[in-house]
């Protein structure tokens, strides 16, 4: 008998028909002798409806009250899912994040999990219950409801799997695995049977929407066996996330192409080259809980620097406002924000042992007339910023150039 944690996203529980399909799948696992914990998201579109209600009431809503409101979407789903499982003659019990005792910090809308209490749910599992747990939410040390950010149900599922030492964590979504790139952009994109933890971590952080980055971090830290499958297919092995010691075959040079249309570029121009420059710019931004991604610093011959980084487009205006307030202190000549960019990244552990990947990438884009504004690299990835309108062409050209459809 295995302990399986299954997570179902919003499209997988979008309506009563889909919830009944989830219950049928759960029953099959129970009939096969497995213990099952189900983690669910809010029904598709519900979180957006709740966010709109908040906007309709308040221009500057309290983060605490916003979390109280948006967390209700999952509460509806766990109750409905538990009822559907019960209708199939199986004992089931629903749990909110606070009932599980998912302890988080107090960063509302972006809370991080500190600890998970497992005593109650382990007892229920031993008594033969299927547990249905609300994803995306927890509570801080004062009992305030917190949420983990969009996509946080993945993190909940992997954290639960780690705490229970589950045999496998299955992420059910509307795609049947991890692809070489988004099939909506490249029709010949190929499903990967497996991907290394390193690659998945990079793909998730670089814009792949299949798994949330924090869930991959959790999986890697606690060596949770992680599999991505489609809730719309009855059969299929999906894609399994492997760890380095499990990866026997020679790795391909490039495993996938990730991209993100949600970033904006910020450049602070003409800053005197002084110690602590990066902290003076990024410190105040971090204090406002704004995540920074790519960071590039250029040192000119005249003793002045240009400092470039990317943020989410939704936080561009706030970032520019902060920097304008620091402009005189930094002695900067200009603050420039550019929302019309996209980030594209090649990812593959094979880069560690193969040369010429960067030159092939740049040559391919040059032949298509695509200009690169920013470049960042690591051992297993190359990330660039390009004009947003040219993104699809760039992805299609690189997918073909690196034979990812074969």
Q: What are 19's two structure tokens?
A: 């919830």
Q: What is the pLDDT of residues 42-67, one digit of tens each?
A: 999 999 999 999 999 998 999 999 99
Q: If DSSP states are collapsed to H, E and C, what string results for 352-401?
A: HCCCCHHHHHHHHHHHCCCCEEEEEEECCEEEEEEEHHHHHHHHHHHHHH
Residues 6+ apart with CB under 8 A from 271: 277, 281, 304, 305, 306, 307, 330, 331, 332, 333
Residue 329 lies in a domain: no
Q: Is-contact 131 93, C-beta < 8 A?
A: yes
Q: What is the pLDDT of residues 189-248, one digit of tens each?
A: 998 888 888 888 888 776 666 777 778 888 888 889 999 998 888 878 899 988 754 444
Residue 127 lies in a domain: yes
The per-residue pLDDT string of the chain (406 residues; one tens digit each, 9 = 90 and over) reads 799 999 999 999 999 999 999 999 999 999 999 999 999 999 999 999 999 999 999 989 999 999 999 999 999 999 999 999 999 999 999 999 999 999 999 999 989 999 999 999 999 999 999 999 999 999 999 999 999 987 789 999 999 999 999 999 999 988 888 889 988 899 999 988 888 888 888 887 766 667 777 788 888 888 899 999 988 888 788 999 887 544 444 456 888 999 999 999 999 999 988 888 889 999 999 999 899 989 988 876 677 889 999 999 999 999 999 999 999 999 899 999 999 999 999 998 888 777 888 999 999 999 999 999 999 888 888 999 999 999 999 999 999 999 998 8
Q: How many distinct structural domains can be found in the chain?
A: 1
Residue 144 lies in a domain: yes
Q: Identify the three-state secondary structure at position 298.
A: strand
Cut 0.85: pTM above it? no
Half-sphere exposure in the Cβ direction for 200 (13 Å, CA): 29
Q: Is-contact 347 380, C-beta < 8 A?
A: yes
Residue 225 lies in a domain: no
Query: What is the domain-level CATH number for residue 125?
Result: 3.40.1160.10
Q: Which of 98, 135, 132, 91 is nearest to 115 (CA)?
A: 98
The domain in which residue 167 lies consists of: 3-174
**What does DSSP assign to residue 246?**
G
Strands 145-147 and 194-196: unpaired
Q: Is-contact 134 77, C-beta < 8 A?
A: yes
Residue 54 lies in a domain: yes
Q: Strand pairing partners for 335?
A: 268
Residue 302 lies in a domain: no
Residue 333 lies in a domain: no
CA separation, residue 383 to residues 254, 270, 346 (Å): 13, 25, 7
Residue 220 lies in a domain: no
């Amino acid at each position: 008998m295995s302990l399986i944690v299954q997570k179902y996203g919003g499209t997988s529980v979008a309506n009563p028909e889909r919830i009944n399909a989830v219950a049928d799948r759960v029953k099959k696992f129970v009939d096969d002798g497995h213990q099952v914990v189900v983690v669910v998201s809010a029904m598709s579109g519900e979180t957006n409806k709740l966010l709109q209600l908040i906007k309709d009431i308040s221009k500057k809503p309290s983060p605490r009250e916003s979390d109280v409101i948006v967390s209700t979407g999952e509460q509806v789903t766990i109750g409905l899912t538990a009822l559907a499982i019960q209708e199939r003659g199986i004992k089931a019990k629903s749990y909110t994040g606070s009932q599980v005792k998912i302890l988080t910090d107090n960063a509302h809308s972006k809370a991080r999990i500190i600890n998970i209490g497992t005593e109650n749910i382990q007892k229920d599992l031993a008594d033969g219950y299927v547990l249905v747990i609300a994803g995306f939410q927890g509570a801080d040390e004062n009992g305030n409801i917190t949420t983990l950010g969009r996509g946080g149900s993945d993190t909940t599922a992997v954290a639960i799997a780690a705490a229970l030492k589950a045999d496998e964590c299955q992420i059910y979504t509307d795609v049947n695995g991890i692809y070489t790139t988004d099939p909506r952009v490249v029709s010949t994109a190929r499903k990967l049977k497996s991907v290394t933890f390193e690659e998945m971590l990079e793909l998730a952080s670089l814009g792949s929407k299949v798994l949330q980055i924090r869930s991959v971090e959790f999986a890697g830290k606690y060596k949770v066996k992680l599999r991505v499958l489609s809730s719309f297919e009855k059969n299929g092995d999906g894609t399994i996330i492997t760890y380095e010691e499990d990866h026997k075959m020679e790795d391909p040079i490039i495993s996938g192409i990730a991209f993100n249309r949600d970033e904006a570029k910020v450049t602070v121009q003409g800053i005197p080259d002084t110690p602590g420059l990066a902290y003076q710019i990024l410190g105040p931004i971090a204090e406002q809980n704004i995540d920074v991604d790519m960071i590039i610093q250029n040192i000119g011959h005249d003793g002045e620097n240009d400092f470039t980084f990317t943020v989410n487009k939704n936080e561009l205006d706030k970032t520019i406002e902060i920097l304008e307030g620091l402009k005189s202190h930094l002695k900067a000549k200009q603050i420039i924000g550019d929302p019309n960019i996209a980030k594209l990244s090649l990812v593959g552990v094979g880069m560690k042992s193969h040369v010429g990947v960067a030159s092939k990438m740049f040559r391919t884009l040059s032949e298509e007339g695509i200009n690169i504004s920013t470049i960042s690299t690591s051992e297993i990835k190359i990330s660039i910023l390009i004009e947003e309108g040219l993104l699809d062409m760039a992805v299609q050209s690189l997918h073909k150039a690196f034979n990812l459809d074969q």
